[in-house]
Amino acid sequence: MNQSPRVSKGRPVTDEQIDRLAQEAEAGYDVAALRRAGGRKPLGSGPARVVPVRLDPELDDAVKQRAQIDHSTTSDVIRDALRAWLKSA
């Protein structure tokens, strides 16, 4: 059987690196240290849900322009507009 060389990010992986990684794995890892820190900030009291919305080209352009003026994102502009509309209703 012909084994291709092992690579990581395009670089060859040495036997010494494999041995070191195996020893680390056998010793175990601190799960708390491995937990991912970061990601998106929560938007409210729970996980946010994606709600697809169709916009005509003019409205889409207006939202993008407002986001650029506000140094914000289109999602933030849409959320802010929706909150303002719901508050006024």
pLDDT digits (tens, 9 = 90+) for 15-67: 999 999 999 889 888 877 777 666 667 778 878 889 999 999 999 999 999 99
Q: What is the largest CA-CA distance in the chain?
A: 71
Q: How many domains does the chain have?
A: 1
Residue 66 lies in a domain: yes
Residue 38 resides in a domain: no
**Does the residue 61 lie in any domain?**
yes
Q: Is the pLDDT of residue 1 over 60?
A: no
Residue 34 lies in a domain: no
**How does 8-44 read in b/e, with b if 16+ C-beta sit within 10 Å?**
eeeeeeeeeeeeeeeeeeeeeeeeeeeeeeeeeeeee
In-domain check, residue 22: no
Domain range for 81 = 54-89
Contacting residues for 48 by C-beta, under 8 A, at least 6 apart: 40, 42
pTM above 0.75, yes or no: no
- What pLDDT digit, counting tens, does each position of 49-59 carry? 899 999 999 99
Would residue 23 count as lying in a domain? no
